[in-house]
Amino acid sequence: MKIKTFKVEQWMNDYENDAIYNLGETCIDSMTLGELIELSGQNPEKYLSALKDKRMSYGYIEGSPELLKGISSLYKNILPSQSIPTHGAIGANHQVIISMIEPKDNMVCVMPTYQQHYSIPESIGAEVRIVQLTPENNFLPDLNLMRSLVDNNTKMITINNPNNPTGAWIPEDVMTEIIEIAKSVDAYILSDEVYRGISEDGSYMMSIADLYEKGISVGSMSKIFSLAGLRMGWIASRDEHVINACRTRRDYDTVSCGQLDDLFASLALANKEKIAERNRKILLKNREILDEWVNSTPEVSYVKPAAGTTALLYYNNEMPSYELCVKLIKEKGVLFTPGSCFEMEGCVRIGYAYDSEKLREGLDKFTEFLREI
């Protein structure tokens, strides 16, 4: 099986360690284990000391009861038995696509999105039909285009909500129409929801698994929970065929997740409101910093992100995005992700939810750079 190079991951592998101002980071300011334990109301020293006697067996093959309960608490209609722990959301996306898609199928996919959603089905031999998201439509799917692309061989529609890299959030009325499109050809909807969970006003963000019986939600502890080092993700669906197919596949590529990943993810999920309170403050503060900078910098423009931790910044220069980003990190130490990693040009992806001061300083350095070139 041949598969294309994963552009965004290769870019981060090549350049992230060189960054002084890491504006390519897409997680909300990462927590230490001590912070997580303190936030849960426990003493870090005592808690960590007690772990020395924990035997490192496989543990719960399909996830501990505490973990499954915590995952189900993120949804309105998902039971603990309807979720599958995975090695990060990257493992979840891979498991769903490789379990459900065959060469005879076609798959409708939004663009831009995380490359797994189109490169994995292409490598299987399935046809991928693209719904291009545009700034003119606030990066929301063109429903007429989507409707024209589905047929009786469409096995799945895949979306990314909130969207990476644009920060767009599909409202519930639009989601309802996407569901009707899927129903018209009896297709699944895979929704990569790793940035779901912290809304502007604190309200609940609906999942595809809440809205559609054949909806498949992928989530993770990385972005919104600030715990990427746990490498814990999951699949959630009410569709029995999806759960059974992914569990069967999981025996070949996962077996079980790490016991410590399970333990700390369970602790975080049990204290999700406290983490959300911490992270909402960071997210909204930094989103405002970004918005003020864009509004005062005529060299750039964007569609203000509605959710998530990323946005696309368009720059008024003809330099290709990859060349611009290499030059930028070498001359200013600022890391963005080239738009070309998402099959786009004239723009870069920013991750704005990390360190507030580094964000301000990095944006100022980018302003200097744009005016110099």
Predicted confidence at residue 365, as pLDDT, reads 98
Counted domains in the chain: 2
Predicted confidence at residue 1, as pLDDT, reads 74
Domain assignment of residue 21, yes or no: yes
Give Dmax over CA atoms of the chain in angstroms. 59
Contact, 216 vs 239, CB < 8 A? yes
Is the Cα dihedral 87, 89, 94, 95 positive or negative? positive
> Are 208 and 265 within one domain?
yes
> Are 184 and 48 within one domain?
yes
Q: Is 294 helix (H, G, I), strand (E, B) or coil?
A: helix
Taking only the tens place, the pLDDT of each residue in 117-158 is 999 999 999 999 999 999 999 999 999 999 999 999 999 999
On whether the pTM is more than 0.75, the answer is: yes
CATH code: domain of residue 278:
3.90.1150.10
Structure tokens that stand for 133 in this block: 């998201």
> Are 24 and 89 within one domain?
no
Of 272, 303, 320, the one marking the end of a domain is 272
Instruction: In whole angstroms, give the CA distance from residue 29 to residue 329.
Output: 21
Q: Is 186 helix (H, G, I), strand (E, B) or coil?
A: coil
Predicted confidence at residue 146, as pLDDT, reads 98
Intervals of the chain under pLDDT 50: none
> Are 107 and 200 within one domain?
yes
> Are 73 and 166 within one domain?
yes
Predicted confidence at residue 207, as pLDDT, reads 98
> Are 174 and 247 within one domain?
yes
> Are 315 and 337 within one domain?
yes
Domain assignment of residue 1, yes or no: no
Contact, 235 vs 217, CB < 8 A? yes
Domain assignment of residue 2, yes or no: no
Predicted confidence at residue 366, as pLDDT, reads 98
The neighbouring-strand residues paired with 311 are 350
Predicted confidence at residue 298, as pLDDT, reads 97
Structure tokens that stand for 226 in this block: 């600030």
Predicted confidence at residue 200, as pLDDT, reads 84
Task: Convert 16-51 into a string of H (helix), E (strand) and C (coil).
Answer: HHHCCEECCCCCCCCCCHHHHHHHCCCCHHHHHHHH
> Are 165 and 308 within one domain?
no
Taking only the tens place, the pLDDT of each residue in 165-193 is 999 999 999 999 999 999 999 999 999 99
- Residue 78's domain spans which residues? 42-272
> Are 105 and 235 within one domain?
yes
Of 242, 272, 302, the one marking the end of a domain is 272
HSE (CB half, 13 Å, CA atoms) of 7?
Answer: 18
Of 272, 303, 322, the one marking the end of a domain is 272
> Are 68 and 142 within one domain?
yes
Predicted confidence at residue 364, as pLDDT, reads 98
> Are 223 and 115 within one domain?
yes
Predicted confidence at residue 323, as pLDDT, reads 98
